Amino acid sequence: MSNIWLIVQREYLIRVRKKSFLIMSILGPILFGAILFVPALITVFASDEHKHIAVLDESGLFRNRFENTSTLTFTELSVGLDEAKAALKKKQYDGVLLIPDINLSEPKGFTYFSEESLAPVTKSTLERTIRQAIEELRMMRSGIRQEQLDSIRAQVDIATIKIGKEGEQESSSGAAMVVGYIGAFFIYIFIFLYGAQIMRGVMEEKTNRIVEVLICSVRPFDLMMGKIIGIGAVALTQFLIWVVLSIGITSAVSIAFGLDKVAEARTKGQIEQLRQNPEMENAIEISNAMAAIASINLPVTLAAFLFFFFAGYLMYGAMFAAIGAAVDSETDSQQFMLPITVPLIFAIISLSAVIANPNGQLAFWLSLIPFTAPVVMMARVPFTGANWELFVSMLILIASFISMVWVAARIYRVGILMYGKKPTYREIAKWLFYRA
Amino acid sequence: MNILETIHLVKRYAEHTALQDVSIAVPEGQIYGLLGPNGAGKTSLIRIITQITAPDEGKVIFKGEPLAPIHHQQMGYLPEERGLYRKSKVGEQLMYLARLRGLKESEARKRIRAWLERLNLMEWAGRNLEDLSKGMQQKVQFIATVVHQPALIILDEPFSGFDPVNAALIRDEILELRRQGSTIIFSTHRMDTVEELCDYVGLINRSRKVLEGKKSDIKHAYKTHTFVIETDAPVTLTENGYEILQTESLEGGIYRHLVKIHQGSNNGLLRACMAQANIVSFHEQIPNMQEIFIRVVATANMQPPTV
């Protein structure tokens, strides 16, 4: 036991001390944060500059309709278009919005003059303001008063409630989908990334012949499991660093985007007020997504993630170790990689079908097959929660990884001492029955 | 007392038998030379002794007990194909290997330091192995083999890759280890080292042990009753029982005769020579291990192989 511990320690330390580990640890969450926030960032940067817009309202219907924002300042002009254009040339304004004397039932002829093209955000702000004004004017024409108008406006949000044994639970299928995808994808990536590291590590020891020195003081099984566990610990460390950094980055970004204001408003029930401010829309959306994620059964999902992460990693890790032991070089490993990569890739490809119908036949069977279960069942857990299928899937996976470790240990034991020729599947099958 | 005995070992692989009924006995505190042509089964035997593989039949007795994993820590093995972690620091991997063999960290640190100093490697302790020259890597590997002061040290071609100076250094360390009570099994083709170092030898040919015993006894047994006589004048022998195999003339008017005694005594031979010339020197020609090796292997190979 102490030997396995020494091996775990070494495998862990040499990897964690590498520069590449540090780089991956920092880059991971940055990339993750980037994927989440780049769209929002782009919008912000696009509307970053301050615009001063002159409004030339020939209809007189839009007085005091345009409210200044942090990026837009409006000035209502009562001069002619030519004079306004001249002012534009003198750079008194960034743009001139011409509202002709319009017919309310058929409004058209809105024009924006400027030396630069109009940013989409600014355009949509202008359009929304004009549209709202026209709608309100029309309604008031048909006899609706401002107070009635305010009470008419509605914000609709469908809450999905799942009826389970524990009673009714709020659920969010959108959030379940996101969490399922991310969880399944992480498992997939980590199995590939760190499984390949196991294989390379075993191969290194084999081609260096250090294995002969090691095997005379350590049992092959200890050597293999020490390596798998050590590298697994590296994966977990990496993952934890990512989570911690991601939380850090997310909260930093939240503050930058004003999500904290949204959260505050949410608790005070003032979300509607906030919604009036177009700048806060991104923030509200992100905040909504976060609230939805919180609505999933997180303890079960997290437990399932850790379980499938480890069981899947152990099972595939043992297979990678066996391959590393069986071959002499990375080129030879390709042929044996196939049985590993095919089920994994199949699982990731079928993921969208599984998530579209998490309780369907495909999803059901793929979560029973141990080779696809870590990815597929993980994607389903946020939808299904803890049910018998989850437990059956887990049981099968446990049984599979134990037998896979057993098989791999036997291949490993023989393989690491075989040099020279590339073995065939048949030979490897024979190794299972050699006496150690 | 024998530190290690193998009893009727058999090891079969898919296509061939690597060991057929091999029993050897390695006396404690001695240097035992394990000899044999390529592919004879030496490595298979060593792998069974080091418990890398298990025999199909037979057993191994270590210090009077059946060989078991607990004996790992009392053995040190230097494989012919050397290997350490290329991208790890010298000191760190020695520490790792020492600890895998059951040394406490403080003890391991002390011994590694002592060994590195002894083999002039101290300044390289913090470097990666790949930065070292091949000879230095070999020395590191040697330290890794003996750092835990094993009772039984198994060295597979320990001198390959060493320049003469370092080979002599390692040879002295091996002798020192024997003086401290370690038993050493040497697997080698190089008969000069066998001649120089080994107390006992075992010869394996075609999966079988064909010869084993104390080196001096074996040499004695393989004596051919051939004598070297140097005289100041050429000699001819007419008596029956003495046969001159070869005569050569050396510098200074000395003649060297190689004489085989078929029948008769040494003194009889001397008397016959004395009558003809002054004798400068006389000694029996003891076969060297090289000759014995070749003879035994050639004889064994004349018999039909058994599978």
Q: Are B283 and B228 in contact (CB under 8 A)?
A: yes
Contact of A216 with chain B, judged by CB distance below 8 Å, is answered with: yes
Q: Look at residue A284 in the predicted model and tell me its pLDDT.
A: 62
What is the pLDDT averaged over residues A118-132?
Answer: 81
pLDDT of amino acid A267 = 57
In a domain, B290, yes or no: no
- Name the residue facing A216 among B51, B56, B85 (closest C-beta): B51
- A8 pLDDT tier (thresholds 50, 70, 90): very high
Confidence (pLDDT) at B177 = 93
The pair of structure tokens assigned to B195 is 């001649």
Helices and strands (H, E) in chain B, number of each type: 9, 14
The CATH number of the domain holding residue B91 is 3.40.50.300
User: Which residue on chain B is closest to A223 by alpha carbon?
Assistant: B100
Return the half-sphere exposure (C-beta side, CA atoms, 13 A cut-off) of residue A304.
32
CA distance A389 to A379: 13
What is the rounded end-to-end Cα distance, in angstroms, of chain B?
33
Pick the last residue of a domain from B197, B220, B243.
B220
| Interface contact A208, partner B, CB < 8 A | yes
**Residue B146, min C-alpha distance to chain A (Å):** 12
Residue B228 lies in a domain: yes
Q: Rounded to an integer, what distance in angstroms lies between the CA atom of residue A400 and that of residue A395?
A: 8
Helix-, strand-, coil-residue percentages of chain A, each rounded to 5: 70, 10, 25
Is residue B165 less than 8 Å (CB to CB) from chain A? no
- Report all structural domains of chain A as residue ranges with CATH numbers, in order of start: 18-39+173-431 (no CATH), 51-146 (3.40.190.10)
Beta strands in A34-132 (DSSP E): 51-57, 72-77, 95-99, 111-114
Same domain, B205 and B228: no
Average pLDDT over residues A1-16: 87
Residues of B in contact with A214 (CB under 8 A): 97, 100
Q: A213 is written with which tokens?
A: 């020195």
Is the same domain home to B77 and B188?
yes
- Give yes or no: residues B53 and B176 share one domain: yes
In a domain, B301, yes or no: no
CB distance from A3 to chain B under 8 Å? yes
Whether B41 maps to a domain, the answer reads yes
Question: In the structure, what pLDDT confidence band is assigned to residue A161 with cuts at 50, 70 and 90?
Answer: low
Smallest Cβ distance to B79: which of A6, A14, A213?
Answer: A213
In angstroms, rounded to a whole number, what is the distance separating the alpha carbons of residues B161 and A421? 26
**Top-confidence residue, A15 or A287:** A15
B15 interface with A at CB cutoff 8 Å: no
Q: What is the pLDDT of residue B307?
A: 43
For residue A164, pLDDT beyond 60: no
CATH of the domain at B243: 3.30.70
Asked if the Cβ–Cβ distance from B101 to A10 is below 8 Å, we say no
B83/A213 Cβ within 8 A: yes
CA B131 – CA A159 distance, rounded (Å): 65
Task: Compute the nearest-CA separation of A424 from chain B (Å).
Answer: 14
The answer to whether residues B139 and B242 belong to one domain is no
Q: Are residues B75 and B112 in the same domain?
A: yes
Structure tokens at A295: 């609505």
A369 touches B at CB < 8 Å: no
Average pLDDT (A132-136) is 83
Number of domains in chain B: 2
ipTM field: 0.76
Give the per-residue pLDDT at A280: 59
Residue B295 lies in a domain: no
Contact across the interface for B83 and A212, Cβ inside 8 Å: yes
The H or E element containing residue B2 is: strand B2-12
Can you say how many angstroms the Cα of residue A354 is from the centroid of all Cα atoms in its chain? 17
Give the closest of B52, B73, B86 to A417, CB-based. B52
Both B151 and B264 in a single domain? no
Residue A326 has pLDDT above 70, yes or no: yes
Looking at residue A45, its pLDDT comes to 62
- Select the residue from A9, A217, A417, A433 to test the B interface by mutation, using most B Cβ atoms within 10 A: A217
- DSSP codes of every residue in B98-159: HHHTT--HHHHHHHHHHHHHHTT-GGGTTSBGGGS-HHHHHHHHHHHHHTT--SEEEEESTT
Contact call for A212 and B79, based on CB within 8 A: yes
- Among B220, B245, B265, the domain boundary falls at B220
DSSP code for B92: H
Using a CB–CB cutoff of 8 Å, tell me whether A215 touches chain B: yes
Identify all chain B residues contacting A227, using CB atoms and an 8 Å cutoff. Answer: none
Chain B CB contacts of A215 under 8 Å are 50, 52
Q: How far apart are the CA of A212 and the nearest CA of chain B, in angstroms?
A: 7
Would you state the pLDDT for residue A229? 93
DSSP string of A298-312, one letter each residue: HHHHHHHHHHHHHHH
Q: Are residues B50 and B155 in the same domain?
A: yes
A·B CB contacts under 8 A = 61
pLDDT at residue A274 above 90?
Answer: no
Summary mean pLDDT of chain A: 79
* Distance, CA of A107 to CA of A83 (rounded, Å): 24
Please tell me if residue A417 touches chain B, with a CB cutoff of 8 Å: yes
Q: Are B179 and B148 a contacting pair, CB within 8 Å?
A: no
- Residues B114 and B183 occupy one common structural domain: yes
Q: Indicate whether B113 and B29 sit together in one domain.
A: yes
**Which one is predicted more confidently, A273 or A108?**
A108
Distance CA(A116)–CA(A94), nearest Å, equals: 8
Structure token digits, residue A40: 């929002």
In order along its 307 residues, chain B shows pLDDT tens digits of 889 999 999 988 877 888 999 999 999 999 999 998 888 888 889 989 988 888 889 999 999 999 988 888 889 999 887 788 888 899 999 999 999 888 899 999 999 999 999 998 999 999 998 899 888 888 999 999 999 999 999 998 888 878 888 888 899 999 999 999 999 998 988 888 888 889 999 999 888 998 899 988 888 888 888 899 999 888 888 777 888 888 888 888 899 998 888 888 888 888 888 888 899 999 888 888 888 888 888 887 776 554 4
Rg (CA), chain B: 24
Please list every residue in chain A whose beta carbon sits closer than 8 Å to the beta carbon of residue B73: 217
pLDDT band for position A37 (cuts 50, 70, 90): low
Per-residue model confidence (pLDDT) at position A353: 85
- Looking at the structure, tell me whether residues B173 and B243 fall in a common domain: no
From residue A395, give the alpha-carbon distance in Å to each of A303, A369, A398. Answer: 15, 11, 5
| Chain A contact present for B50, CB below 8 A | yes
Q: By the CB < 8 Å criterion, does B14 face chain A?
A: yes
Beta bridge partners of A75: A54
Question: Are residue B241 and residue B167 in the same domain, yes or no?
Answer: no
Taking residues A210-214, what's their average pLDDT? Answer: 84
Give the mean pLDDT of A228-255: 83
3-class secondary structure, B60: strand
Q: By the 8 A CB rule, do B53 and A417 touch?
A: yes
Q: Is the pLDDT of residue A266 over 60?
A: no
* Residue at which a domain ends, from B165, B186, B220: B220
Whole-number Å distance between alpha carbons of A254 and A262? 10
Residues B80 and A197 sit within 8 Å (Cβ to Cβ): no
Does B59 contact A at CB distance below 8 Å?
Answer: no
* B215 touches A at CB < 8 Å: no
Nearest-Cα distance to chain A for B70, in Å, is: 9
Nearest residue of A to residue B93, measured between CA atoms:
A10
Backbone angles phi, psi at A178, to 5 degrees: -60, -45
Helix, strand, or coil (residue A56): strand
Rounded CA separation B304/B307 (Å): 10
User: How crowded is residue A153: how many other Cβ atoms within 10 Å of its Cβ?
Assistant: 8
Contacts of B104 (CB under 8 A, 6+ apart): none
For residue A234, which amino acid is it?
Answer: V
Q: Do the Cβ atoms of A436 and B54 come within 8 Å?
A: yes
Provide the phi-psi class of B241: left if phi over 0, else alpha when psi is between -120 and 50, else beta: left
Range of the structural domain that residue B19 is part of: 2-220
Is A18 in CB contact (< 8 Å) with chain B?
Answer: no
Residues constituting chain A: 436
Say if residues B124 and B165 touch (Cβ distance below 8 Å).
no
Selected residue of B46, B48, B52 to mutate for chain A interface (largest A Cβ count, 10 A): B52
Same domain, B143 and B229: no
